[in-house]
Amino acid sequence: MTDRVTTAEGSGGDCCIAVRNTGPLSGEVAVPGAKNSVLKLMAASLLADGTFELSNVPDIIDVSIMAELLRAIGAEVEVLGRGAVTIRNTGDLTPVAPFELVEQMRASINVLGPLLTRCGHVRLSMPGGDDFGSRPIDMHIAGLEAMGASFSYGEDYVEASVDRLRGADIMFKFPSVGATENLVTAAVYADGVTTLENAAREPEIIDLCEYLVAMGAQIEGIGTSQLRITGVAPGSLRACEHETVPDRIQAATYIAACAVSGGRLDLLNAQAGHMQMVLTRFRDMGLEFEPLPYGLRVAAPGRLRSTDFATLPYPGIATDYKPLITTMLSVAEGVGIVTENLYPGRFRYVEELQRLGADIRTDGHHAVIRGVPRLVAAEVTAHDIRAGAAMVVAGLAAEGTTTITGVHHIDRGYDDLVGRLQRIGADITRFDA
């Protein structure tokens, strides 16, 4: 693993990917650790002094950005290679998250809860992230206010302070992933008990809660939509070791690649239990799955059949699968409807699929996809992480050579996507523009 933070801004920016239909894929793919877990684990490491050892950390730009953010706050972060990262805190933290790092990545917001509960003060620039519509943080703020924090606002930052957070009963209007994470991490040092109702319960949230418990936090209801956190004495948590949960979205990306190409893949480390709903629907489309002692086998015996999908919070179909699903439906037999219930603006990649000959009509938060036998190569752009992966999958389903720009988005969340696909037989290369 390389610490890519020095190249984070420009990495992939001048790169392109060329990909063509190659027919059936075969072999093994090791599924890396989950971006949307490890970034939160890293932020939660601000809660205790000592040396944390994280393993199964993906080699992605967002990890480098989070490493740089933690360093700016006062932690020592070392990227050791082979998926290992250590984070060392000596207690000397500056609870300020600078704009140039926060604007690059939504997950920067995850330092809010740990810094506020540990330092009693935090100043955070407003988070950036992907371009699929407004992404407010009102639930994070309302929850922390209910625990006694006061907020003030500047032009592009938010500041919070409190003597010591106190336990509170918080009901989320929506099971927000980020708000659940910030509130759980804030509650670990609060005075008394905090209950979070309608909490998000994604596998990555379970991973974070288990990390906090390994640090000495008291959390009940892990994996359910009601979390109960009993605050421990401030400063009493300790550093720990932890292995990051495998990435279900990266696993689904290789499933989608196999689905449009044919063939059979063994996905090492894939956790079928974290993907039950989407695997059921993929079976409806004609894919076959077999559990392996160390992962999951997928086979694509013929042309996919269309079906309808609607995105929902976990255990529903994750919005992050949607660009992949839309791409699969683009070459499936029949008509499928995809309904987006989380981010109304998350259909930008549809124009790119249309460039490749996909027959898709969007209406509000619905997309109607009439499958065509084969897409046709074109030059397309990756507008965000998942849309970028979908372009790669679409290129595998297209006649001719598809060129993808905006590769830096893919690098934010995918650990060697091109190399992994090459090793299972895909005709794909990366080159400087």
Contact 46, 114 (CB under 8 A): yes
Residue 130 contacts ligand EPU per CB under 6 A: yes
User: Does 62 qualify as catalytic in the annotation?
Assistant: no
Of 253, 319, 330, 405, the residue at the interface with ligand EPU (CB under 6 A) is: 319
Residue 59 φ then ψ, to 5°: -90, 85
Q: Of residues 130, 207, 266, 415, which has the active-site annotation?
A: 130
Sequence-distant (≥ 6) Cβ neighbours of residue 7 within 8 angstroms:
none
Q: Which stretch binds ligand EPU (CB under 6 A): 80-88, 138-146, 227-235, 350-358?
A: 138-146
- Closer to ligand EPU by CB, 342 or 428: give it: 342
Residue 41 contacts ligand EPU per CB under 6 A: no
Of 4, 383, 386, 430, the residue at the interface with ligand EPU (CB under 6 A) is: 386
Amino acid at 282: F
- Closer to ligand EPU by CB, 167 or 313: give it: 313
Residue 179 contacts ligand EPU per CB under 6 A: yes
Residue 209 contacts ligand EPU per CB under 6 A: no
Q: Which stretch binds ligand EPU (CB under 6 A): 44-52, 271-279, 287-295, 315-323?
A: 315-323
Of 56, 104, 176, 330, the residue at the interface with ligand EPU (CB under 6 A) is: 176
Distance CA 182, CA 141 (A): 9
Distance CA 424, CA 362 (A): 34
Of 140, 201, 322, 383, the residue at the interface with ligand EPU (CB under 6 A) is: 140
Contact 304, 256 (CB under 8 A): no
Closest by Cα among 86, 9, 100 to 45: 86
Residue 253 contacts ligand EPU per CB under 6 A: no
Radius of gyration for the chain, computed over Cα atoms and rounded to the nearest angstrom: 21
- Closer to ligand EPU by CB, 129 or 167: give it: 129
Residue 343 contacts ligand EPU per CB under 6 A: yes
In 84-224 the beta strands, taken as DSSP E runs, fall at: 84-89, 96-97, 121-125, 150-153, 157-161, 169-171, 193-197, 218-220
Residue 3 contacts ligand EPU per CB under 6 A: no
Residue 4 contacts ligand EPU per CB under 6 A: no
Question: Each residue of 201-226: b (16+ CB within 10 Å) or e?
Answer: bbbbbbbbbbbbeebebebeebeebe
DSSP 244: P
Distance CA 77, CA 69 (A): 10
- Angle among Cα 38, 186, 231 to the nearest 5 degrees reads 115
Residue 66 contacts ligand EPU per CB under 6 A: no
- Closer to ligand EPU by CB, 65 or 378: give it: 65
Q: Which stretch binds ligand EPU (CB under 6 A): 7-15, 264-272, 295-303, 313-321?
A: 313-321
Residue 46 has, within 13 A of its CA and on its CB side, a CA count of: 34
Of 177, 255, 389, 424, the residue at the interface with ligand EPU (CB under 6 A) is: 177
Residue 186 contacts ligand EPU per CB under 6 A: no
Site for ligand EPU in 408-427 (CB under 6 A): 413
Pairing of strands 15-20, 96-97: unpaired
Q: Which residues bind ligand EPU (CB under 6 A)?
A: 35-36, 39, 106-107, 130, 135-140, 174, 176-179, 200, 318-320, 342-343, 385-386, 413
The catalytic site residues sit at 130
